[in-house]
Structure 1
Amino acid sequence: MAKQPFTVVYEDNHLLVVNKAAGVLVQGDRTGDKTLTDYCKDYIAKKYEKPGAVFLHPVHRLDRPVSGLVVFARTSKALERMMLMFKKREIFKVYWAIVKKRPKDVIGKLTHYLVKDEERNVTEVFEREEPGSKRADLDYKRLGKLNDHWLVEVRPKTGRPHQIRVQLAAMGCPIRGDLRYGFAKPNPDASINLHAFHLVFLHPVKKEKLYLRAALPEEPFWEQYLEFEKVKAQDQHLENTYSG
């Protein structure tokens, strides 16, 4: 049976937040493959029996091989406000990544300067500012080791293309399955082990705080890391910690 392209995590008149499966495009590219946006529009049209065009726009993107939370706006007001919140870095993001090599520090910060090559769809990383580069910052914590791989929690401060993938690779810790940034072999399903796990933000209309979590992929390699969730629940090492 084919894997579901998404599951709904949160839904109201203003927002639709889903847990995207790895391998699904958020928005169209040259492949012409059906996108997460298309799947979610179909879902809204069917559920609410909407005969015409459905207004639904992604507020941000996840790379195709990455799983986890994607936020869609269902109204133009929500879209404008959510995009501003992302731009102003008012969205608190948590990712889990699995790497082969042990990160040097238990808790660390990474700052690099990134240049995206749109033609090759690759991001180059530099230690110092270069012409056309954009600064990328993230915090990380080493959560533990299982099956000869390390689980790393990543909290990006900026939202650059391929940021987490290229910054961890620059540290010598490419993400499992990520051939583009130096991992030795692919995952069987062409995914990479990077998951957008939590989002915390103020609802753009209701002004209540949302704490959203995307379950780990139902895949044996990922599922063994569920035991680290209790570690996460007790984690108070950075500002902006959250419940759940």
Structure 2
Amino acid sequence: MSGHSKFANIKHKKEKNDAKRGKIFTVIGREIAVAVKEGGPDPNNNSKLRDVIAKAKANNMPNDTIERGIKKAAGNVDAVNYVSITYEGYGPNGTAIIVEALTDNKNRTASNVRNAFTKGNGNVGTPGCVSFMFDTKGQIIVAKEEYETDSDEFMLMALDAGAEDFNEEDECYEILTTPEDFSAVREALEKENVPMAQAEVTMIPQTYVELTSEDDKKSFQKIMDLLDEDDDVQNVYHNVENDEE
């Protein structure tokens, strides 16, 4: 899941939990199926599929699993009937949450998402109720331990490739792009053999809210856990700072 901290947490890359990894692979598998249906099975002619493959590799999905997913989708295009749907709502203390889903049953997904919000003392709102508080950006995370480089040189490389912003954190570099430039920047860095812990278009909050009450923290985590368990849910974005997800 995306957007769980101010700078995407690179623990995704090191995730040892099989259930969590299985969830991520399910999410990416659906994205592969949709990309193949929309643009065909050849990544050279399908930029959306190239982006999904990059995301898959960043999450340590084996190449043969990726290839199987592409072949399965290509041979079964008519069976891919996932609909993209976005929910917006409020968590404890007015926190903002956006849920992106790919589903073959909108009623089931809507019910599950509402249930998650309700059990965490939140509520689903109307479209647009919180998305104005987020910016859509291409985001590439590079772990320092996997890429030793001079930060100034790396920043220049990223900016020359078309990046909009470059941030250095204790453990990682964060490269931000416009959604339109994301693929070109990612591919330019790939050509320079830059290993990516995360590479995707995401939603980044403009401001962050810190939950101070233990009850609010537990309620918020309840929403996150229930959404995380739902295979229809692809991404969750929120503006809570310092959560432990």
Give the TM-score taking structure 1 as reference length. 0.32
Is the strand fraction higher in 1 or 2?
1
Is the helix fraction higher in 1 or 2?
2
Higher RCO structure (Cα 8 Å, ≥6 apart): 2
